[in-house]
Chains A and B, each alone.
Chain A
Amino acid sequence: MLETGEILQLQALADTVIPADNWPGAVEAGVCSFILNLLEHEENWRVSAYRNGLLALDRLAHSVNSSPFHTLTLQQKTQLLEMVETRSAEAQRAGVDLDWLRVVFRHCAEGYYADSGNGGNIDNKSWEMVGFKVTI
Chain B
Amino acid sequence: MSDYDAIVVGTGAGGGISACVLAESGFSVLLVERGELLSYGDVGRDHLRNQRLSVYGHNAGPGPGNPRTTRNSQGELLTFMPWQGGYHANAACVGSGTRVYGAQAWRFVPEDFRMASIYGVPQGSSLADWPIEYLDLEPYYTQAEWEVGVCGDEYANAHGASRSKGYPMPPMRQTVQYSTLKSGADKLGWNTAPVPLLINSKEYGGRAACAECQHCVGFACPVDAKNGSANTVIPRALATGKCELRCATLAKRLVCDENGQVIGVELATETNGEITTQVVYGRKIIVSCGAIESARLLLNSRSARNPAGVGNHHDLVGRNLQGHYYPGAMGVMPYDVYDGIGPGVVISTSRFNHGNKGIIGGGMIANEFIMTPITFWHRALPPHIPRWGQANKDWMRENYRRTIHITGPVQEIPSRDARVTVNPNVCDKYGVPVAHLSGSTHEETVRTSAFMWERCVEWLKASGAVTVWGEAPSGAWLSGGQHQAGTCRMGNSPSQSVTDRWGRVHDQANLYILDSSLHVTNGGYNPVLTIMALAFRGAEKVVSELNGH
Measuring CB to CB, which residues of chain A are less than 8 angstroms from any residue of chain B? Answer: 16-19, 21, 23, 38, 42-43, 78, 81, 102, 105-106, 108-110, 113-115, 117-118, 126-127, 129-136
User: What residues on B are CB-neighbors of A110 within 8 Å?
Assistant: 48, 55, 374
Using known A-B contacts A114-B48, A130-B401, determine if residue A135 contacts B389 with beta carbons closer than 8 Å: no
Contacting pair B373 A113 (CB below 8 A): yes
- Name the distance in Å between B400's Cβ and chain A's nearest Cβ: 4
Measuring CB to CB, which residues of chain B are less than 8 angstroms from any residue of chain A? Answer: 44-48, 55-56, 211-215, 222-223, 336, 338, 340, 372-374, 376-378, 387-390, 392-393, 396-397, 400-401
Using known A-B contacts A134-B213, A135-B214, A136-B213, determine if residue A19 contacts B46 with beta carbons closer than 8 Å: no
Contacting pair A114 B400 (CB below 8 A): no
User: What residues on B are CB-neighbors of A81 within 8 Å?
Assistant: 388-389
Rounded to whole angstroms, the CA-CA distance of A11 and B191 in the bound complex is 52
Among A18, A23, A78, A114, the most chain B Cβ lie within 10 Å of the Cβ of A114
Contacting pair B393 A19 (CB below 8 A): yes
User: What residues on B are CB-neighbors of A133 within 8 Å?
Assistant: 214, 340
User: What residues on A are CB-neighbors of B388 within 8 Å?
Assistant: 16-18, 81, 105, 108
Using known A-B contacts A81-B388, A106-B387, determine if residue A113 contacts B401 with beta carbons closer than 8 Å: no
Using known A-B contacts A109-B387, A131-B338, determine if residue A21 contacts B393 with beta carbons closer than 8 Å: yes
- Name the distance in Å between A115's Cβ and chain B's nearest Cβ: 5
User: What residues on A are CB-neighbors of B336 within 8 Å?
Assistant: 131
- A-B contacts besides A17-B389, A130-B400, A132-B214, 18 pairs, CB < 8 Å: A18-B393, A23-B397, A43-B56, A81-B388, A102-B387, A113-B374, A114-B47, A114-B48, A117-B45, A126-B373, A126-B396, A127-B373, A130-B396, A130-B401, A131-B338, A133-B214, A135-B214, A136-B223
Please pick, from A19, A113, A114, A135, the residue contacting B213 in the complex, using a CB distance under 8 A.
Answer: A135
Please pick, from B48, B213, B214, the residue contacting A118 in the complex, using a CB distance under 8 A.
Answer: B48
Rounded to whole angstroms, the CA-CA distance of A132 and B401 in the bound complex is 8
User: What residues on A are CB-neighbors of B46 within 8 Å?
Assistant: 114-115, 117-118
Main secondary structure of the interface of A (DSSP, over half): helix
Contacting pair B222 A136 (CB below 8 A): yes
Please pick, from A17, A132, A134, the residue contacting B400 in the complex, using a CB distance under 8 A.
Answer: A132
Among A130, A133, A134, the most chain B Cβ lie within 10 Å of the Cβ of A130
Q: Which residue of A lies closest to B398 (CB)?
A: A130
Q: Which residue of B lies closest to A109 (CB)?
A: B377
User: What residues on A are CB-neighbors of B374 within 8 Å?
Assistant: 109-110, 113-114
Rounded to whole angstroms, the CA-CA distance of A106 and B338 in the bound complex is 24
Rounded to whole angstroms, the CA-CA distance of A38 and B55 in the bound complex is 12
Please pick, from B55, B213, B373, the residue contacting A130 in the complex, using a CB distance under 8 A.
Answer: B373
User: What residues on A are CB-neighbors of B372 within 8 Å?
Assistant: 113-115, 132
Contacting pair B393 A131 (CB below 8 A): no
Rounded to whole angstroms, the CA-CA distance of A45 and B390 in the bound complex is 30
Contacting pair B390 A21 (CB below 8 A): yes
Q: List 14 A-B contacts (CB under 8 A).
A: A16-B389, A19-B390, A42-B56, A102-B387, A105-B388, A110-B374, A114-B46, A117-B45, A118-B47, A131-B401, A135-B211, A135-B212, A135-B213, A136-B213
- Name the distance in Å between B54's Cβ and chain A's nearest Cβ: 13
Q: Which residue of B lies closest to A42 (CB)?
A: B56
- Name the distance in Å between A15's Cβ and chain B's nearest Cβ: 11
Q: Which residue of A lies closest to B212 (CB)?
A: A135
Please pick, from A38, A105, A130, the residue contacting B387 in the complex, using a CB distance under 8 A.
Answer: A105
User: What residues on A are CB-neighbors of B213 within 8 Å?
Assistant: 134-136
- Name the distance in Å between B24's Cβ and chain A's nearest Cβ: 33
User: What residues on B are CB-neighbors of A134 within 8 Å?
Assistant: 213-215
User: What residues on A are CB-neighbors of B215 within 8 Å?
Assistant: 134
Rounded to whole angstroms, the CA-CA distance of A100 and B122 in the bound complex is 44
User: What residues on B are CB-neighbors of A117 within 8 Å?
Assistant: 44-46
User: What residues on B are CB-neighbors of A113 within 8 Å?
Assistant: 47, 372-374, 376-377, 396
Q: Which residue of B lies closest to A101 (CB)?
A: B388
User: What residues on A are CB-neighbors of B378 within 8 Å?
Assistant: 109
User: What residues on B are CB-neighbors of A132 within 8 Å?
Assistant: 214, 340, 372-373, 400
User: What residues on B are CB-neighbors of A115 within 8 Å?
Assistant: 45-48, 372
Q: Which residue of B lies closest to A19 (CB)?
A: B390
Rounded to whole angstroms, the CA-CA distance of A106 and B393 in the bound complex is 13
Rounded to whole angstroms, the CA-CA distance of A78 and B377 in the bound complex is 20
User: What residues on A are CB-neighbors of B397 within 8 Å?
Assistant: 23, 129-130
- Name the distance in Å between A49's Cβ and chain B's nearest Cβ: 16
Rounded to whole angstroms, the CA-CA distance of A38 and B49 in the bound complex is 13
Q: Which residue of B lies closest to A131 (CB)?
A: B401
Rounded to whole angstroms, the CA-CA distance of A19 and B401 in the bound complex is 21
User: What residues on A are CB-neighbors of B214 within 8 Å?
Assistant: 132-135
Among A16, A108, A115, the most chain B Cβ lie within 10 Å of the Cβ of A115
User: What residues on B are CB-neighbors of A136 within 8 Å?
Assistant: 211, 213, 222-223
User: What residues on A are CB-neighbors of B211 within 8 Å?
Assistant: 135-136
The 5 closest A-B pairs by CB, nearest first: A130-B400, A113-B374, A114-B47, A113-B373, A17-B388
